[in-house]
Amino acid sequence: MIEFEDVSLSLGNFSLKNCSLSIGTGEYFVIMGPSGAGKTILLELIAGLHDPDTGVIRINGSDAAEIPVEKRGIAIVYQDYALFPHMTVEANICYGMQRRHIPRDEQMRRCRELGGSFGIAHLLKRKPLTLSGGEAQRAALCRALAVKPSILLLDEPYSALDNESRKSCIADLKKLHKEGLTVVHVTHSLEEAKSLAMRVAIVRDGRIVVTGAAEEVFTQPKDEATARFLGFENIFRGDVIGRRGRVCIRSEDILLHQEESENSFPGNVLSADIQGALRICKVDIGEVLTVTLGKREGDYLAGSRVFVEIPDSAVHMI
Amino acid sequence: MAKKLRMNSFLFCCALLGALPVGLILLALLNITLGQLSDPEFLWLVATESEVVGTILLTFFAGLCAVIILLIVGTPLAYLLARSATKTAKVIGTIIDLPVMLPHTIAGILVYLLFMPNGWLGAPFSAIGITFQDAFFGIVAAMLFVATPFYVTTVQEGFGKVPVHLENAARTLGASPFTVFRTVTLPMTLRHISSGSVLAWGRSISEFSAVIMIAYYPMVISTLIYNRFMTGGLKESSAVAFTMILACLLIFGILRFIAGRIGGAYDRV
């Protein structure tokens, strides 16, 4: 269990302000936020690499300030993996075990076992600089897991990976989490967060703006900035069933029709851009809406008249 | 494998301009070499003179002592300066660089004032029987003073290139700050440490002004060449100088070769 109580920290021009959160044992917790929001600092605070200026951090009920970094049983995997370039993959994986004075035979056994289960057994004698992104990511994960940490911290570990490697690494992590490991994962990828998170915190400008169950945070944003960050492109002032506020609608939840139907609004397509497999349309219905369609979902061109359907479930009020 | 350079007009201009300093050094070496080789018997006589051999060895040894002291005290300082972004660190960095800016006679005066028998440091050391004036320790003190910036700046740059998060990762894996330094930071900085040591050693053995202020005797090689120039003339001093050039070429050639191999696999981050 990790608890932050009103934690603040200033580092140069950046400051983390009054952060409170709690991460349960065995939870998969995702910290999201734009670049420079303070996500990595939050991770490093958990690891003990910074001391808070004010506030308290507790790990399993004990004041973390009393526990030195090397005794916390927390391992971290950085965005660029932070493998030691002067050591082989094997020496990297054994590094933490060596510090714990685990006998050499046991170190090698665990190293081979981890290397085998993460598919890098054939790379153990290689230097990190000769590995691909996916291989290095796995080596870093093996190094972190070799010390059997109680908490695993991941700092955007997939940002440099291709799609295939990312999918397979996400599967690895899901497996580890099922085995009972507490994981705190920093990312700015919504896709990653959705596929892994049990609970989520969103950080912006050094503050934790939202924490909650993943499903709740992703579907019910609490403010406009959070809604934008979570991919709600359509946000405007509105009045829905007597409730005034901001209406948020994801662009992919809006439907376009060529024929008028019940509860549809007539509008004009202002632009229709093809982006990869998607068609992004701007439709004027009095407010300009962004609508994301599959490329093959109707041949809507700029200037054509359409009818816009917004399902009830797509509308979120803030 | 050495990469072959493809020549273009810009590189040709660089080569043309760069030929000037290289040519100057080569010309000077050629000049002295031809002069000395015209009378090899005299050269051999001077080169094997016990005073010349002894002085060269003393100079190299005093320089080596300065480098060893720098390895012990300069390395932690360089690490501290590389990891600290405070104003104090910047001020300390400027203080460390000061001996490079100062004329060496001034460095000599500073060292002498501090280490003379009734100086702030000279007096307490005298009390325990260590003297600096006209003594070996005086030479080492002067060499240390002028060589420090060369060592500290080079090694600080090396430490600066080791990403802090590598050290952080090592800490979370269970290493104490000293173990992290010993197993991660230091091995990745070996090349900078070795080239800083070579630079500092070279700077130490070439020192003249700062050394003669505190210790004219025992003579270091620069002092001996100056002394021979004043007493025995150009021919005698050139022979000593040529002997020292040969010794330097041999030693620093070997050191450059070794330094090029040290840490090659380590500092690629």
Q: What sections of B206-269 are H helices per DSSP?
A: 209-214, 221-231, 234-261
Looking at the fold, whether A167 and A269 belong to one and the same domain comes out as: no
Residues of B within 8 A of A72 (CB-CB) are 172
Query: Which of residues B217 and A302 earns the better pLDDT score?
Result: B217
- For range A261-286, the mean pLDDT: 86
CA A311 to chain centre: 28
Whole domain around residue B56: which residue ranges? 43-261
Is there a domain that residue B158 lies in? yes
Looking at the fold, whether A222 and A237 belong to one and the same domain comes out as: no
Beta-carbon contacts of residue B104 (< 8 Å; ≥ 6 apart):
B146, B207, B208, B209, B210
Looking at the fold, whether A59 and A139 belong to one and the same domain comes out as: yes
How far off is chain A from B165, nearest CA to CA, in Å? 7
- Domain boundary (A226, A246, A276) is at A226
- Domain boundary (A201, A226, A251) is at A226
How far off is chain B from A74, nearest CA to CA, in Å? 6
Residues of A within 8 A of B191 (CB-CB) are none
* Mean of pLDDT over chain A: 88
Sign, CA dihedral B89-B174-A159-A46, equals negative
Looking at the fold, whether A108 and A246 belong to one and the same domain comes out as: no
Find residue A110's DSSP bridge partners.
Answer: none
How far off is chain B from A82, nearest CA to CA, in Å? 5
* Mean of pLDDT over chain B: 92
CA A62 to chain centre: 27
Looking at the fold, whether A147 and A210 belong to one and the same domain comes out as: yes
Looking at the fold, whether A303 and A252 belong to one and the same domain comes out as: yes
Is there a domain that residue B20 lies in? no
Q: How many separate domains does chain B show?
A: 1
Structure tokens at B133: 């004036």
Beta-carbon contacts of residue A36 (< 8 Å; ≥ 6 apart):
A14
CATH of the domain at A221: 3.40.50.300
Looking at the fold, whether A276 and A127 belong to one and the same domain comes out as: no
- CA dist., res. B269 & res. A17, Å (int): 33
CATH of the domain at A302: 2.40.50.100
> B86 pLDDT exceeds 70?
yes
Which is nearest to A278 in space by CA: A265, A290, A266? A290
Write out the DSSP string of A123-149. GTTS-GGGS-HHHHHHHHHHHHHHT--
Looking at the fold, whether A204 and A103 belong to one and the same domain comes out as: yes
CATH of the domain at B173: 1.10.3720.10
How far off is chain B from A94, nearest CA to CA, in Å? 10
Residues of B within 8 A of A143 (CB-CB) are 169, 173
> From residue B182, how far is each of B75, B92, B174, B190 by CA, in Å?
12, 24, 14, 11
Residues of B within 8 A of A76 (CB-CB) are 168-169, 172
Looking at the fold, whether A281 and A251 belong to one and the same domain comes out as: yes
Structure tokens at B226: 């100056």
Q: Model confidence over A35-81: pLDDT tens digits?
A: 888 999 999 999 999 999 999 999 988 899 999 998 898 999 998 89
CB A93 within 8 A of CB A114: yes
Q: Which of A95, A129, A153 sits opposite B173 (nearest CB)?
A: A95
- CA dist., res. A159 & res. A161, Å (int): 6
Residues of A within 8 A of B85 (CB-CB) are 12
- Pairing of the two strands A288-294 and A278-284: antiparallel
Across A203-212, A298-307, B117-126, least confident range: A298-307
Is there a domain that residue B268 lies in? no
Q: Which of A69, A84, A85 sits opposite B172 (nearest CB)?
A: A69
- Whether residue B172 and residue A127 make contact (CB cut-off 8 A), yes or no, is no
Main-chain dihedrals φ then ψ at residue A44, nearest 5 degrees? -70, -25
Put simply, whether A70 touches B (Cβ < 8 Å) is yes
Find out whether the peptide bond into B218 is cis, omega within 30 degrees of 0. Answer: yes
Per-residue pLDDT, A180: 87
> From residue B109, how far is each of A16, B106, B225 by CA, in Å?
51, 5, 21
How far off is chain B from A80, nearest CA to CA, in Å? 10
Q: What strands lie across the sheet with A243-249, from one edge to the other?
A: A234-240, A243-249, A316-317
Where residue B1 falls among pLDDT bands split at 50, 70, 90? very low
Q: Which residue of A has its CA nearest to B266?
A: A86
Helix or strand or coil: residue A182?
strand
- Whether residue B168 and residue A44 make contact (CB cut-off 8 A), yes or no, is yes
- Whether residue A82 and residue B175 make contact (CB cut-off 8 A), yes or no, is no
Across A146-160, B100-114, B205-219, least confident range: A146-160
Q: How many separate domains does chain A show?
A: 2
- For range A161-182, the mean pLDDT: 82
- Whether residue B172 and residue A49 make contact (CB cut-off 8 A), yes or no, is yes
Whole domain around residue A201: which residue ranges? 2-226
Q: Which of A74, A80, A100 sits opposite B172 (nearest CB)?
A: A74
- Whether residue A75 and residue B173 make contact (CB cut-off 8 A), yes or no, is yes
Quick one: what percent of chain A has pLDDT higher than 90? Answer: 43
Q: Which of B172, B174, B184 sits opposite A84 (nearest CB)?
A: B184
Q: Using CB atoms within 10 A of its CB, is residue B7 exposed (0-12), middle (13-18) or buried (19+)?
A: exposed
How far off is chain A from B49, nearest CA to CA, in Å? 47
Mutate: best of A69, A111, A152, partner B, most B CBs <10 A: A69
Q: Which residue of B has its CA nearest to A94?
A: B173
- CA dist., res. A168 & res. A69, Å (int): 30
Looking at the fold, whether A38 and A137 belong to one and the same domain comes out as: yes
Q: Model confidence over B39-70: pLDDT tens digits?
A: 999 999 999 999 999 999 999 999 999 999 99
Per-residue pLDDT, A280: 87
Q: What strands lie across the sheet with A54-59, from one edge to the other?
A: A14-23, A2-11, A54-59, A62-63
Looking at the fold, whether A33 and A137 belong to one and the same domain comes out as: yes
Looking at the fold, whether A195 and A239 belong to one and the same domain comes out as: no
- Binding-site residues on chain B for chain A (CB distance < 8 A): 85, 163, 165-166, 168-176, 179, 183-184, 187-188, 265-266, 268-269
Is there a domain that residue B19 lies in? no
The beta strand positions in chain A, using DSSP E, are 2-11, 14-23, 28-32, 54-59, 62-63, 74-77, 151-155, 182-187, 199-204, 207-213, 234-240, 243-249, 255-257, 264-275, 278-284, 288-294, 305-309, 316-317
Beta-carbon contacts of residue A128 (< 8 Å; ≥ 6 apart):
A81, A83, A84, A85, A87, A89, A92, A136, A139
> A11 pLDDT exceeds 50?
yes
Where residue B193 falls among pLDDT bands split at 50, 70, 90? very high
Residues of B within 8 A of A150 (CB-CB) are none
Q: How many CB pairs under 8 A join A and B?
A: 65
Beta-carbon contacts of residue B182 (< 8 Å; ≥ 6 apart):
none
> B268 pLDDT exceeds 70?
no
Which is nearest to A234 in space by CA: A201, A277, A265? A265
Per-residue pLDDT, B218: 95
Put simply, whether A84 touches B (Cβ < 8 Å) is yes
- Whether residue B163 and residue A76 make contact (CB cut-off 8 A), yes or no, is no
- Whether residue A84 and residue B170 make contact (CB cut-off 8 A), yes or no, is yes
